[in-house]
């Protein structure tokens, strides 16, 4: 009864009556259609019409493993080849957030595997969650190392002679928690499980923000090494002391050397070696299609707090690289899976084949430089020095991890400690200057007297 009353009142507002209800309905529908037509045209003219959303490419599971399946296949591969491969899972935790990381070590003869006497290579894949193709490349490289897959046009005997001189550590999926978010549908996610970009969380030039800074893309965390994933990679690099470090990404095709935080490359011997090696890899295996140079000078923007800059400047890795193995520049900015990963089997296989060949060529070129890297002309005690900032960032973070929440106050005091240290050094220099000046003044009369 109440509904009918409301409807009747509504119709009376439009001067409708019961005797002409059918014609009233027709006029009402016509009026609504006319209004809709004019409104739609108004939106189109003013550029406000809702466009059809761009399609978002889902993960192609015919080509790509899930994170769990990929790590399980790697573990199974290692267990089939215990004479060459070993595996460990390492953990770290910070403020309730935990990360785990799988590390695979290759050594051609496990019984003769003194890592310090061989050429050491550390490879990290999957630092950004959305870059699935990088972890697939890690699996392909491990399969070739185990001899379950083979490089075309490669003499295995010659390759084995090269591999006998190497120890290779592979982190196939550095950002496991971020990868899980991508698999849950957040295809554009590059950060870790609590929203920090792991490639902005290292101590070299940490926290600096450019004018185009995007917190979604480049959140550096609360402090250098605040993230468990970064802590684990730092510990691994310190204990392993690699001669070559490669951080593998996707988004474009490039072979980068330091620096990321400034538009220059380093000076000296190793800079020349790095550039020469990259040029050879690009020409021999990548059809000269890759950009070569510093990340900061080639990409078009500076990146602060990156792993590669830390490895080169602080960890003193002689050759530190960032490889960008794939990118689709035609993809929409919202279609991240397609932008960072090949979506058809032909391109997928080409990426894995070309870059596998490039990596094994790098292994060979690196092994040839073992003698030079151990020479006294190259390595000196000074090369192991680090800045007070980096020492404090690393040492205090290590202490905080060891003793848990009781040491969290150190995070807040790092900046103050660095400030006090600088003031102490400045005061010492000023006191020394004043002391020397006083001695100089007091010595003048004596000198004058002696000259008479």
What whole-number distance in Å separates Cα of residue 294 and Cα of residue 256?
Answer: 5
For tokens 């490089």, name the residue.
151
Asked if 324 is an active-site residue, the reply is yes
* Token pair in block for residue 60: 């192609």
Q: Which of 186, 324, 398, 416 is catalytic?
A: 324
Burial classification of residue 331, based on how many CB atoms lie within 10 Å of its CB (0-12 exposed, 13-18 middle, 19 or more buried): middle
Cβ 300 vs Cβ 190: under 8 Å: no
Please state, in angstroms and as integers, the Cα–Cα distance from residue 55 to each residue in 63, 129, 177, 333, following that order: 20, 21, 26, 11
Are 177 and 192 spatial neighbours (Cβ–Cβ below 8 Å)?
yes
Q: Dihedrals φ, ψ of 395, to 5°? A: -65, -50
Cα–Cα distances (Å) from 259 to 197, 224, 437, in that order, read 18, 18, 42
| CA atoms lying within 13 Å on the CB side of residue 25 | 6
Question: What residues are annotated to the active site?
Answer: 324
């Amino acid at each position: 009864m109440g509904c009918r009353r409301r409807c009747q009142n509504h119709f009376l507002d439009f001067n409708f009556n019961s005797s002409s209800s059918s014609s009233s309905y027709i006029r009402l529908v016509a009026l609504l259609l006319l209004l809709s037509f004019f409104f739609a045209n108004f939106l189109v003219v003013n550029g406000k019409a809702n466009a059809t959303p761009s399609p978002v490419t889902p993960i192609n599971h015919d080509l790509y493993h899930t994170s769990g399946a990929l790590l399980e296949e790697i573990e199974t591969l290692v267990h089939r080849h215990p004479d060459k491969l070993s595996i460990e899972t390492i953990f770290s935790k910070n403020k309730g957030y935990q990360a785990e990381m799988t590390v695979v070590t290759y050594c051609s003869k496990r019984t003769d595997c003194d890592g310090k006497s061989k050429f050491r290579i550390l490879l990290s894949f999957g630092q950004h969650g959305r870059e699935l193709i990088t972890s697939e490349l890690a699996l392909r490289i491990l399969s070739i190392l185990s001899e379950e897959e083979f490089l075309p046009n490669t003499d295995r005997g010659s390759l084995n002679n090269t591999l006998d001189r190497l120890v290779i550590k592979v982190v196939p999926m550095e950002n496991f928690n971020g990868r899980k978010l991508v698999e849950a549908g957040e295809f554009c996610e590059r950060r870790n499980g609590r929203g920090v970009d792991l490639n902005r969380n290292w101590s070299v030039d940490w926290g600096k923000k450019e004018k185009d800074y995007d917190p979604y893309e480049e959140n550096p965390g609360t402090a250098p090494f605040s993230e468990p994933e970064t802590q684990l990679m730092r510990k691994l690099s310190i204990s392993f002391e690699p001669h070559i470090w490669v951080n593998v990404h996707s988004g474009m095709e490039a072979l980068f050397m330091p620096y990321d935080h400034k538009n220059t490359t380093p000076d000296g011997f190793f800079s020349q070696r790095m550039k020469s090696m990259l040029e050879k890899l690009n020409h021999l295996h990548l059809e000269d299609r890759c950009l070569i140079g510093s990340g900061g000078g080639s990409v078009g923007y500076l990146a602060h707090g990156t792993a590669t800059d830390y490895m080169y400047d602080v960890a003193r890795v002689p050759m530190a690289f960032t490889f960008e193995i794939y990118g689709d520049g035609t993809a929409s900015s919202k279609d991240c899976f397609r932008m960072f990963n090949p979506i058809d089997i032909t391109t997928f296989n080409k990426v894995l084949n070309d870059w596998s060949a490039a990596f094994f060529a790098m292994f060979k070129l690196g092994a040839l430089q073992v003698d030079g890297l151990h020479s006294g002309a190259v390595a000196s005690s000074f090369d192991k020095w680090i800045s007070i900032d980096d020492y404090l960032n690393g040492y205090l973070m290590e202490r905080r991890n060891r003793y848990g929440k009781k040491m969290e106050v150190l995070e807040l005091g790092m900046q103050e400690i660095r400030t006090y240290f600088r003031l102490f050094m400045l005061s010492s220099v000023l006191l020394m200057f004043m002391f020397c000046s006083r001695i100089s003044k007091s010595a003048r009369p004596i000198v004058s007297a002696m000259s008479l």
